Structure formats: structure tokens, C-alpha cells
């Protein structure tokens, strides 16, 4: 039962990241009207660096796909750590209204890392 719940949550998290990455290329999701001004300024600044958002999008897509595949979920979790760190910091500083979702994403990420701890420990022996 635990593995089925982990699979479902991993699938949802992976799809969220794939969707976010694809949106950076195709801009199919509208920008919310109630977005804080600080968040708009931050995103405008990030868009000034022409290579940054495409790089983040590619990492989100790759990490999301890896996270959905049980065999590669541990690798996907490692790939998504920098992205989740950035999302957390942005929501802490610019848009605290998104913190409940971020906390849920971090909880899933931590659960996957804990479940795959033996795969990571091999790297530090």
C-alpha cells in the first residue's frame, strides 16, 4: 500500500514539474492576476538572462520524468533538489501564499529521498 501511495505522489510531483518546464517554453498557463509585485519583478529579472529559464525548464522536465519512473526516482529526486530549493526560497521571500504547496512538494521529495537512502549511501562510502 505504501508503495502505491508513493508511486501516485511521485507521479503527481513529476507531472507538476514536467508541466512547469513545458510552460516555460510554450507559455500556455496564464499569469495569475493576484501575483505580488515582488514576484513579477523577480520573474522579469530572471527573463533578462536569456539562458536561465530554458535551463531551469529542461532540468524540470528531465527531473520530473525521472521522478515518475520508479527505477530512476532516486536520481530524479537529486535532480529536483536545486529546483525545489529555489521554489522554496522564492515562496519564502516573494510569495508566501504558495508555501502550503511547497511544503507538500518538499514532503514528497523528502519521503522519496528517505526511501532511497541506501542508493545514496553507496556514493559516500
User: Which pTM was predicted?
Assistant: 0.94
Query: Out of 31-35, 73-77, 79-83, 108-112, which region has the weakest mean confidence (pLDDT)?
Result: 31-35
The predicted model gives 68-93 an average pLDDT of 96
- Report the phi/psi class of residue 27: left, alpha or beta, with left for phi > 0 and alpha for psi in -120 to 50: left
Residues of the chain with pLDDT > 70, as a percent, come to 100
Whether the predicted pLDDT of 32 surpasses 90 = no
Query: Out of 15-29, 30-44, 110-124, which region has the weakest mean confidence (pLDDT)?
Result: 30-44
Query: Would you state the pLDDT for residue 68?
Result: 97
Q: What is the pLDDT of residues 92-115, one digit of tens each?
A: 998 898 999 999 999 999 999 999
Which residues have C-beta within 8 Å of that of residue 58, sequence separation ≥ 6?
A: 21
Amino acid at each position: 500500500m505504501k508503495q502505491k501511495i508513493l508511486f501516485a505522489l511521485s507521479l503527481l510531483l513529476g507531472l507538476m514539474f514536467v508541466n512547469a518546464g513545458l510552460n516555460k517554453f510554450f507559455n500556455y498557463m496564464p499569469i495569475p492576476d493576484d501575483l505580488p509585485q515582488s514576484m513579477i519583478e523577480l520573474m522579469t529579472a530572471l527573463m533578462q538572462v536569456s539562458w536561465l529559464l530554458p535551463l531551469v525548464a529542461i532540468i524540470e522536465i528531465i527531473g520530473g520524468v525521472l521522478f515518475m519512473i520508479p527505477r530512476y526516482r532516486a536520481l530524479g529526486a537529486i535532480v529536483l533538489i536545486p529546483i525545489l530549493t529555489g521554489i522554496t526560497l522564492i515562496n519564502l521571500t516573494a510569495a508566501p501564499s504558495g508555501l502550503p504547496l511547497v511544503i507538500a512538494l518538499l514532503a514528497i521529495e523528502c519521503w522519496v529521498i528517505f526511501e532511497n537512502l541506501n542508493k545514496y549511501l553507496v556514493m559516500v562510502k
